[in-house]
């Protein structure tokens, strides 16, 4: 017995532990089978499928407006942006002209969704590393965004606000005032986040230089979103292929070169600032007009294949629809950003300690139902 323990402790043997589906820090039901030598990680193997609901197969038996309610629940933190992807695809296929008012409102709601998702990322990332205060501060401020959603869309998180042809209902009369109040409030609070976590010496020791992802690896593994932009990969869909009202606003794409955990975290904080700038440019001049275009009662896409991509809070979401002329899609495929982001976890966590694995997994910002669909 003593010899066995001595062997393991002397880092001669590799042993395998299981960070099982139920774990406080894997952000959902992700199972990681980790091979360790001492405390150093040698191999990480993710096992997924613990929340695989078969959404792609289900979509083949429902109509296009009903798909909105399922894509909401795929990546629930960017629910509005997921719905926008499907709606834009359907509208592009039917060649419907969307009035300006709808585009501007969709953009404002998307940016609010992005802010709310990054707030939750900040709250849980701090909590994973041990700073429980971040959890309370982040969720306190996130409630203000959810109040805005509740007043206009009717629900806090799963908002089925988009539909093919426009929006479900018009915005509430209080919408502009509440959004402006929130932006003023949050601009003053964001430096507090920096004080609490970004400049903290323990946080910097735990995240600087950990989990480096190089630019070639990011392109080869298909990583997108803030995790890739922190390695220098310019992949923001809002800049390369603008949709909705993104072609009339000015904002910077947040790029860094180092590609470690600290810069993946910093990219999201800076993105929150850019989102607030975008909302500032749009909130005062929402054009007048209808909030929905009249569509046929039964939507049938012409035969063919259609691809649309949008920028969610985690990366590039692609919706690929193959239609054969019926009211149900023949095949629909969601190219989810977290699926490709997860594939890089094994590469970047080699030779770091197991406590760093938690930090790296948190910085990739994975939402497991989007991986499993």
Partner 1 sequence: MDKVHLGDIIKSLDSDIEIKEGKQFTEINIPASNLYTLAKQLRENHETSFDFLICITGVDYGQDLGVVYHLRSIRHNHTIVLKTRISDRENPQLDSVADIWRTAEFHEREIFDLLGIKFTNHPDLRRFFLKRSYGFPLRKDFVDDINIVTK
Partner 2 sequence: MGIKGMKKEEFRDNESLELLKESGSNVLLTTVNDVINWGRKNSLWPLTFATSCCGIEMMATGAPRHDFARFGMEVYRASPRQADVIVVAGTIVNKMAPVLKRLYDQMSEPKYVVAMGACAISGGPFFLNSYSVVKGVEHIIPVDVYVPGCPPRPEALLYGMIQLQRKIETESIKSRRRRNASHDVK
Binding site for partner 2 (CB under 8 A): 20-24, 28-29, 49-54, 57-58, 61-62, 69-70, 73, 76-77, 120, 135-136, 139-140, 142-143, 146, 156-158, 368-369
Nearer to partner 2, 67 or 223 (CB): 67
Sign of CA dihedral 87, 89, 94, 95: positive
Q: Which does 256 bind (CB under 5 to 8 A by kind): partner 1, partner 2, none?
A: none
Q: What is the largest CA-CA distance in the chain?
A: 79
Which of partner 2, partner 1, none does 24 bind, CB closer than 5 to 8 A by kind?
Answer: partner 2
Q: 221 is in the binding site of which of partner 2, partner 1, none (Cβ under 5 to 8 A by kind)?
A: partner 1
Q: Which of 22, 61, 257, 285 binds partner 1 (CB under 8 A)?
A: 61
Q: Does 340 bind partner 1 (CB under 8 A)?
A: yes
The verdict on 83 binding partner 1 (CB under 8 A) reads: no
Residues near 340 by beta carbon (within 8 Å), at least 6 away in sequence:
221, 222, 223, 224, 315
Comparing CB distances to partner 2, the nearer of 155 and 204 is 155
| Shortest Cβ 61–partner 2 spacing (Å) | 5
Query: Is 219 a binder of partner 1 (CB under 8 A)?
Result: yes
How far does the chain reach from its first CA to its final CA, in angstroms? 46
Distance CA 38, CA 4 (A): 13
By CB under 8 A, tell whether 239 contacts partner 1: no
339: contact with partner 1 by CB under 8 A: yes
Nearer to partner 1, 61 or 285 (CB): 61
Nearer to partner 2, 123 or 218 (CB): 123
In the complex, the smallest distance separating the C-beta of residue 339 from partner 1, rounded to whole angstroms, is: 6
In angstroms, rounded to a whole number, what is the distance separating the alpha carbons of residues 220 and 331?
26
Closest to 249 (Cα-Cα) out of 274, 224, 230: 274
299 lies in the site for partner 1, by CB under 8 A: no
The interface mask with partner 1, positions 21-60, x = CB under 8 A, is ---------------------------xx--x-x-xx---
**Partner in contact with 305, chosen from partner 2, partner 1, none, beta carbon below 5 to 8 Å by kind:** partner 1
Phi and psi at 332, nearest 5°, equal -125, 135
Q: Which does 253 bind (CB under 5 to 8 A by kind): partner 1, partner 2, none?
A: none
Categorise residue 209: left if φ over 0, alpha if ψ from -120 to 50, beta otherwise. Answer: left
Which two structure tokens, joined as six digits, stand for 18? 């299981």
275 binds partner 1 (CB under 8 A): no
Residues that bind partner 1 (CB under 8 A): 48-49, 52, 54, 56-57, 61, 217, 219-222, 233, 240, 304-307, 318, 320, 322, 331, 333, 335, 339-340, 342-343, 372
């Amino acid at each position: 017995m003593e010899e066995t323990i001595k062997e393991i402790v002397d880092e001669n043997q590799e042993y395998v532990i299981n960070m099982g589906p139920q774990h406080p820090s894997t952000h959902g039901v992700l199972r990681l089978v980790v091979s360790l030598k001492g405390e150093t990680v040698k191999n990480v193997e993710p096992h997924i499928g613990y929340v695989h609901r078969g959404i792609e197969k289900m979509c083949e038996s429902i109509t296009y407006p009903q798909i909105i309610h399922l894509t909401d629940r795929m990546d629930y933190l960017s629910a509005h942006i997921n719905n926008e992807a499907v709606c834009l695809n359907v509208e592009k296929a039917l060649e419907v002209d969307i009035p300006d008012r709808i585009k501007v409102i969709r953009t404002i709601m998307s940016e609010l969704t992005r802010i709310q998702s990054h707030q939750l990322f900040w709250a849980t990332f701090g909590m994973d590393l041990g700073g429980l205060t971040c959890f309370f501060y982040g969720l306190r401020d996130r409630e203000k965004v959810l109040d805005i959603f509740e007043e206009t869309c009717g629900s806090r998180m799963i908002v089925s606000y988009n539909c093919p042809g426009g929006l479900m209902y018009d915005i509430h009369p209080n919408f502009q005032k509440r959004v402006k109040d929130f932006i003023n409030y949050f601009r003053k609070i964001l430096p507090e986040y920096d004080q609490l976590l970004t400049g903290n010496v323990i946080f910097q020791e735990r995240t600087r230089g950990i989990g480096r992802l190089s630019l070639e690896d990011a392109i080869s593994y298909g990583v997108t979103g803030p995790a890739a932009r922190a390695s220098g990969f310019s992949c923001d869909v809002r800049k390369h292929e603008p949709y909705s009202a993104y072609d009339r606003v000015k904002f910077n794409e947040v790029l860094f070169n180092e590609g470690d955990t600290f810069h993946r975290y910093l990219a999201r904080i800076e993105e929150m600032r850019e989102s607030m700038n975008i909302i500032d440019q749009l909130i005062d001049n929402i054009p007048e007009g209808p909030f929905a275009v009249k569509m046929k009662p039964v939507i049938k896409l012409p035969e063919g294949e259609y691809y649309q991509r949008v920028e969610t809070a985690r990366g590039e979401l692609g919706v690929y629809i193959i239609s054969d002329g019926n009211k149900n899609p023949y095949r629909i495929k969601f190219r989810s950003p977290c699926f490709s982001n997860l594939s890089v976890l094994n590469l970047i966590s080699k030779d770091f300690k197991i406590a760093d694995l938690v930090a790296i997994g948190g910085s990739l910002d994975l939402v497991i139902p989007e991986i499993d669909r």
